[in-house]
């Protein structure tokens, strides 16, 4: 069961124990699972989790398509817009395609261009868990983009240990703690035995020691 007070205590301890820096550091959590066979695809976690306070950093979003979706993407100030003709070109430019796949965290694509995306960009996006979210023609992507800017993606594959960014030291500890609470609750909700499948949770800053959440 998630204990809000203990989460906040762990966040404060992680910040206090970290070496003093003149810049903002990321804060991460590492979750260790137990008594669960991650070799079974049904046990793997693949969740998009909306955080109450975002991660305190800009998240890159790319939109692929033409027409209305491009107009909305510009209105939402997304970071990169790729037209259908660019998709095929990137397929023949593997280095540039890898850079795009690594730079942008979330991808949205018009349903009509999804076959092209799968053929030309799938080999770069798929292994990173970044295949685009298909968007129907009548969908307003602006609220979707706003939601993604405050979300994280947890994708475990076959590993029982995984880490994710939950905020920065520039944020209030209470905000980071609320983000962690949201993540733990969501993870426990999809595990077969809920909290019983969680062995441990650690909180740390980029350069600081890990603090176990009791």
For the chain, the structural domain boundaries read: 4-56+151-212, 61-148
- Record: fold of 61-148: Rossmann fold (3.40.50)
Predicted pLDDT at 178? 97
Contact 178, 46 (CB under 8 A): no
What is the per-residue pLDDT across 89-141, written as a single tens digit (0 to 9) for each?
Answer: 999 999 999 999 999 999 999 999 999 999 999 999 999 889 999 999 889 99
Predicted pLDDT at 3? 87
What is the per-residue pLDDT across 171-197, written as a single tens digit (0 to 9) for each?
Answer: 999 999 999 999 999 999 999 999 999
Q: In percent, how much of the chain has pLDDT > 70?
A: 100
Q: Which residues contact 55 (CB under 8 A, 6 or more apart)?
A: 26, 150, 152, 165, 166, 167, 168, 179
Give dist(CA 29, CA 152) in Å, integer. 12
Give 4-56+151-212's CATH code, choosing from 3.10.20.340, 3.50.50.60, 3.30.190.20, 2.40.110.10: 3.30.190.20
Angle, helices 94-103 vs 84-91, to 10°: value is 120
Give dist(CA 213, CA 12) in Å, integer. 11
Angle, helices 4-17 vs 173-190, to 10°: value is 130
Query: DSSP secondary-structure letter at 59?
Result: -
Give the confidence band of 1 by pLDDT, cuts at 50, 70, 90. Answer: low
């Amino acid at each position: 069961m998630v204990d809000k007070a203990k989460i906040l205590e762990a966040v404060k301890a992680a910040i206090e124990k970290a070496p003093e820096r003149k810049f903002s550091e990321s804060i991460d959590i590492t979750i260790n699972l137990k008594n669960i066979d991650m070799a079974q695809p049904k046990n793997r976690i693949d969740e998009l989790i909306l955080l109450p306070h975002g991660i305190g950093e800009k998240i890159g979003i790319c939109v692929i398509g033409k027409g209305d979706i491009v107009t909305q993407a510009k209105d939402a100030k997304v970071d990169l817009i790729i037209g259908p003709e660019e998709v095929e070109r990137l397929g023949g430019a593997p280095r540039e395609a890898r850079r795009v796949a690594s730079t942008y965290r979330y991808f949205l694509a018009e349903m009509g261009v999804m076959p092209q995306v799968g053929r030309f960009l799938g080999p770069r996006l798929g292994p990173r868990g970044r295949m685009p979210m298909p968007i129907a023609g009548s969908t307003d992507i602006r609220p979707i983009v706003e939601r993604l800017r405050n979300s994280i993606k947890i994708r475990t594959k076959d590993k029982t240990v995984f880490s994710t960014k939950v905020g920065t030291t520039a944020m209030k500890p209470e905000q980071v703690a609320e983000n962690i609470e949201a993540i733990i609750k969501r993870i426990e909700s999809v595990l077969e035995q809920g909290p019983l499948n969680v062995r441990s949770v650690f909180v740390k800053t980029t350069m600081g020691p890990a603090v176990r959440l009791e």
